[in-house]
Structure 1
Amino acid sequence: VAILFRGHEITGREMFESADKLVYALKAKGIKKGDEILACMANCPEAIYLLLAASKCGAIVNFWSSGFDKDFISEIIEKSNSKILFVTSDEWDNIKKISICEKIDIKIIIPLNEALKIENLDACYGREHLKKITDVYAHGKTTITFLDFINNIKDNRRFKIDKINLDDPFTITYTSGSTKIGLPKAIVHKNRAYIAIARFHDPDLSRMPAMKNMRGLAHIPLHSNTNIASAISDTLCQRGTVVCEPIYEANSFAKILALNKASFVLATRSFWIAAMKEFEENEKLAREAIPYLIVAASVGEDITQNEEKYINRILKKYKAGSTKLPFPLSPVTLSIGGGDCEHGGLFFTLFREQRECLGFNKKEFGLIPFQLADIAVLDGDGRECAYGKYGRLVANSPCTMKEYKDNVDANNEFYIKDIYGRCWGDCHVWAYITRKGNVVIRGRLGNEFKLKNGRKIPMFKITEVITKTSKHILSCETVLAHREGAEIIVSYIELMPHTKILEKDLVRKIKKQCKKEVSDEILKKMYFTIIPMGSTYELTKSGKRNIRALELKQTDNCNKLY
């Protein structure tokens, strides 16, 4: 089985046959090598057929989302000069009123409800999100269903397939858009990127488990390169089964795990934390979901030790991976994945906590770079930092993007040179390299407080001081904000579920620790707020914490630390 979609199994043979039909349907509409195809889709089998077909005929698939800014969507469509749009019914319901969509020659609609009706879904599994299209032709003569589109071609022999190279552009995906909400940057990747990352995940190179007979969950939005490279391409290359999941919501994530019973799952820390909270409240759901889980990987943003310990505690409690792995590998602990969308997957660390307990590293194990990645940590002058010293993480690999599409300024900022003139792709994060060559990543560059002497203090350093004060703290996000025109530092603290510590006792501990480790200049600027029990951080559509929203949040209710 190559693809599993809500109970519907699709074999490798069926997958390639459908993809080949799509190749010829695209050729019949004049699609040639280098042409862009627009795609606004949830995770579904047709998205994988489109990837395979584009790879075979040399087209470039531009995956975007209806959640983008409406003017930005119009700009994407106009610049693509595309004749064809593939869209799932849930996304079509959101974009059909955008006037420029009418200018696209052919709109191919994939009604999700038709594929999902074989599964007995109730509201909690997301039925309300899957809009039914009773008659797609009612939207105009340029609208057609996917099956009608691929089944119209009777004679394939008259179509010539162009020769495709590894360095040909293949996809346009988008950054998470966490800094400019709704306006992410478009990233162009080559064919080589997806083949290389899958090759270097092979068990003989990575020492990771083989994916054969395992399920990889594809639930991250398709406009993210992480989903296409790691969840789809990588799983298929290793003969695993891609589980396509059209719903992407933190509050539904626990139920999605139970429904799909996946072995390999990539998700943000916020999704994992939401699932663990649900499992604590619903043991039956936990026992249904977790035993299949061999690799639970946190991706997309850094994760604190307290968050990792909380997730691991629940994974261990319900014996994650126990139906697949023998003791002592079971229960599974959280793995940490890495590599931004620009670079693809560069890092992976399996069973991190167990390795640390065995004495691999007394401090932090960090992320293991794959052999395909060339990495360095640079200081402000472009020199490589000493082991253990924080600086700017840079990298190069076959998976690094070709370019930002139509964005010269962003390209110029992304590619930087060290003192030897070597060109690197900027990961734009604070990191250091351990003596074993592993990478420890902490926080995004640009989120720093500038002292009077010119020195910059990253916000993650303050977050680390606060989180280690008490085991009762689950998460902390520290941002720069403004109050009465002055710059201040605000820490938003989330407590462990069901914790019984009194707020005054917690604040006393935080004050004591900060007094020890934080300078007086910073202490005077520090404010905090404790998130009410049962609440959590607002997330962006990519599933990351919305740091921008915290920066802009009203600070009237924040408490001064001193």
Structure 2
Amino acid sequence: MKFDYSNVKAPWLSSYDGVPPVLDYTEKSMSEAVLDMAAAEKDFPALTFMGRKISYTRMAEEIELTARSFKALGVRPGQRVLVCLPNVPQAVYCLYGLNRIGAIASMVHPLSAVGEIVYYLNEADCDIAVTLDQFYAKFIEVCKQRPVSKLIIARVSEELPFPLNIGQKLMTERKFPKLAKDGSTISWKEFRALGARFQGEYVCKKDYLKEAVVLFSGGTTGVTKGIMLSDLNFNALALQTAEMSKENVHHCRMLAAMPVFHGFGLGVCIHTVLYAGGTSILVPRFNVKSYAQLIKKTRPNFIAGVPTLFEAITRNEYLDGADLSCLRGVFSGGDSLTIELKKKFDKFLADHNCSVRVREGYGTTECVTACCLTPHDKEKEGSIGIPFPDTFFQICKPGTCDEVPYGEEGEICLTGPSMMLGYINHPEENRNTLQKHADGHVWLHTGDLGVMDEEGFIYFRQRIKRMIVTSGYNVYPSQIENILEGHPAVQRSCVIGVPDPYKMQKVKAFVVLKKDVQNTPELIEDIMEHCRKHIAKYAMPYVIEVRDSLPTTLVGKVAYTQLS
């Protein structure tokens, strides 16, 4: 299928450099698209996990078995199932297995607190949950507050190569509680056995425009909401990402460190790769040392991460002397990449024999993940790039649907085939977020401030709710943070507004110093002097507080609300 946005301005088209502006999208479900690729690729590795290669044929068999197992449990088309797993093969099997029977995978962070998981179960109305044995004790507490009819417990050891599987099994059997014999808790082995015995029909011819996955918003501001996403949303993202990469992604290797409960991890690192016939190298838990070892061992073609990942790599010596010529794409998203960190990581790549630079993108979970990316051959300092094919951006006066002129700041609004169906149980939020403009199209109002220049390049400023108003002036924390991190002693920063009886708000800065830098009054004054050179007087921090670290959300963004 194709989309018609011919009545919408698109000044960025001249910067596409061969990327087709209009694409033809499949009407298949996510699982149909991946299983069709599996039929073609057969023995080529679809997944790599802890040194074990899983072929497309084996993955397809596991997806079909998982689908039959869920069907045997009575899971119906349209029913949501909580998938609370890290980047392990079982998460992939559950995603596509549920899709195969017309059900919906509700993906959540396994490190979520008990109360958060209870909230997710209620919000998505899930009666069945899947998790790992290492989180079983937590789910015992969850089920006391919010029972489920079936709790499926998988083990990492079940997908490890020999002899790692033996060692892992011996260690975990002693460490974690034994499964209750209550009829509601079953092991992954027992779950698979149900599917092996199931003889009935299980495949559902799914409507590709209907709900397929639920992802939860990151929760840096406001209430965490369940976001309903369709098969088309994910399949469109896969095709768009492949085209925007300007690389041959067939048979590529992607290091999947971004988690499967995150739009980038699930949509790009897993689905885009499998949709294109590549190999997704699953990273169940991020650790900079093991991540660096994986890069050297597996030599991926693509890596993607939040800025904290790139910062961690540059702060350590684990890739010293490594040859990174294998990399054909390095992508940053999920949070603002400061100009200073981009320069630092670009130099790091060049120093390690890599011919590409970091390409910053922008997106929201409301459109799965990235929908805007820096072109491969043209970047502008401070820009997050240009929209994907068939995706359109407008900058509107906040609180309205009125587009502002190029160069003027406003709310980032977007539309395209990856735009969500809506939030679960939040009708007012849906009305405020998904609005029909005068052109007849429904636009997603992101709540982010940005600017579009005359060539269509987008510049992210920050969340509208995060803007600081001091003495009537607008102050943008991300701009102050860019300046702070330009100081040679500052590793990371966060700027917030604090109440002030005279100014309404005043600016406060938190900084993390670089390794071996001593916190002294002289240093703080030097940082202040650096700010005075670059920041207007009204926007100057009244104080700089040094922290050992900054709080982060479950997906690695700075949780600035915790500093307020």
TM-score category of the 2 structures, normalised to the smaller one: 0.7 to 0.9
**Residue 493 of structure 1 contacts residue 530 of structure 1 at CA under 8 Å; is this kept in 2?**
yes
Q: 2:337 aligns with which of 269, 288, 303?
A: 303
Structure 2 distance, partners of 1:102, 1:422, is 40
Partner SS state of residue 475, structure 2: strand
3-state SS of 1:2 partner: strand
SS at match of 2:141: coil
Secondary structure (helix, strand or coil) at the match of 1:545 reads coil
Match of 1:560 in 2: none
The partner residue of 1:12 within 41, 45, 56 is: 56
CA offset at residue 543 of structure 1? 1.0
Q: How does 1:81-100 map to 2 (within 5 A)?
A: 81-100=125-144
- Residue equivalent to 2:505: 487
User: Is residue 3–residue 11 contact of structure 1 (8 Å, CA) maintained in 2?
Assistant: yes
Secondary structure of the corresponding residue to residue 413 of structure 2: strand
Which secondary structure does the structure 1 equivalent of 2:443 belong to? Answer: strand
**Pairing partner for 2:219 from 173, 177, 183:** 177
Q: Is the 8 A contact 2:226 2:424 kept in 1?
A: yes
| Structure 2 letter corresponding to 1:308 | K
Q: Secondary structure of 1:443's match?
A: strand
2:554 maps to 1:538: no
Give the alignment partner of residue 447 of structure 2, picking from 394, 405, 428. Answer: 428
- Report the CA distance between 1:92 and its aligned residue: 2.4
User: Of 352, 363, 376, which aligns to 1:339?
Assistant: 363
Contact 2:510 2:545 in 1 (8 A): yes
Using the alignment, how far apart are the partners of 1:334 and 1:70 within structure 2? 37
Q: Is 1:274 the equivalent of 2:312?
A: yes
1:163 to 190, 199, 205: 205
| 2:156 counterpart (96, 99, 112) | 112
Q: 1:103 aligns to what SS in structure 2?
A: coil
Distance 2:460 2:494 in 1: 15
Equivalent pairs, count: 516
Using structure 1 for the length normalisation, give the TM-score: 0.82
Q: Which whole-Å CA distance do the structure 1 matches of 2:496 and 2:146 have between them? A: 43
Q: Distance in 1 between matches of 2:465 and 2:154?
A: 41
Give the aligned partner of residue 404 of structure 1.
Answer: 423
Structure 1 position 195, deviation (Å): 0.7
| CA contact 1:306–1:475 (8 Å) conserved in 2 | no
Contact 1:472 1:501 in 2 (8 A): no
2:108 aligned partner: 64
Q: Is it true that 1:216 corresponds to 2:254 in the alignment?
A: yes
Tell me the distance in 2 between the aligned counterparts of 1:300 and 1:334. Answer: 14
Root-mean-square deviation (CA, aligned residues, Å) is 3.4
Alpha-carbon distance in structure 1 between the residues aligned to 2:506 and 2:163 = 51
Summarize the Cα distance change of 1:111–1:219 in structure 2 as closer, same or farther, 3 Å threshold.
Answer: same
What is the one-letter code of the residue matched to 2:241?
Answer: H
Q: Pick from 402, 407, 411: which aligns with 1:383? A: 402
* Equivalent residue, structure 2, for 1:197: 237
Report if the CA contact (8 A) 1:254-1:278 is conserved. no
- Unaligned 5+ runs, structure 2: 1-44
Structure 1 residue 217, shift from structure 2 partner: 2.4
> Residues of 2 paired with 1:251 and 1:375: CA distance?
39
Q: Deviations over 1:360-405 (max 9, x none)?
A: x5x5554121112111111235332222222211111111111111
- Deviation of 1:58 after TM superposition, in Å, equals 0.5
Amino acid at match of 2:508: V
What SS does structure 2 have at the residue aligned with 1:346?
A: strand
Contact 2:470 2:505 in 1 (8 A): no
User: Is 1:317 equivalent to 2:351 in the alignment?
Assistant: yes
- Displacement, 1:446? 1.5
Are residues 84 and 415 of structure 1, via their aligned partners in 2, closer, same or farther at CA, if it must alter by over 3 Å? same
Aligned pair partner of 2:411 in 352, 369, 392: 392
* Distance apart, 1:59 and its partner CA: 0.2
| 2:84 counterpart residue number | 40
Q: Within 1, Cα distance between the matches of 2:260 and 2:188?
A: 18
Distance 1:7 1:432, change over 3 A: same
Are 2:268 and 1:230 equivalent residues in the alignment?
Answer: yes
Tell me the CA shift for residue 437 of structure 1.
1.4
- Residue number among 471, 493, 496 corresponding to 1:476 in the alignment: 493
Letter of the 2:188 partner, please give it: F
3-state SS in 1 of match to 2:425: coil
User: 1:276 Cα deviation (Å)?
Assistant: 1.6
* C-alpha distance in 2 between matches for 1:176 and 1:79: 15
Kept after mapping to 2: 8 A contact 1:295/1:350: no
State the match for 2:542 in structure 1: 526
- CA contact 2:254–2:303 (8 Å) conserved in 1: yes
Rounded Cα–Cα distance in structure 1 between residues aligned with 2:345 and 2:93: 35
1:348 alignment counterpart: 373
| Residue 441 of structure 1 pairs with residue 460 of structure 2 | yes
Looking at structure 2, the residues matched to 145 and 261 of structure 1 have their Cα atoms a distance apart, in angstroms, of: 35
**Aligned residues of 2:215 and 2:226 also touching (Cα < 8 A):** yes
Deviations 1:195-239 (A, max 9, x none): 11111223xx42521222322222333222221111111011111
Deviations 1:311-334 (A, max 9, x none): 2222222224xxxxxxxxx2x321
Which structure has more relative contact order (CA 8 Å, sep 6+)? It is 2
* Partner residue in 2 for 1:149: 191
User: Bigger shift: 72-81 or 224-233?
Assistant: 72-81
1:432-488 deviation digits (Å, cap 9, x = unpaired): 112221212122211222244x443322333345455x4554443221124799732
Cα deviation code 1:469-510 (max 9, x no counterpart): x45544432211247997321122345556799974774574
Q: Secondary structure at the match of 1:234?
A: helix
State whether residues 7 and 119 of structure 1, in contact with CA within 8 Å, keep that contact through their aligned partners in structure 2: no
Structure 2: how far apart are the matches of 1:40 and 1:343?
21
Separation in 1 of the partners of 2:311 and 2:278? 26
Gaps of 5+ in 1: 321-329, 552-562
Residues in 2 aligned to 1:343 and 1:87: alpha-carbon distance in whole angstroms: 26
Aligned-residue offset at 1:96: 2.4
Distance 2:523 2:126 in 1: 61
Q: Among the aligned pairs, what percent are the same residue? A: 17
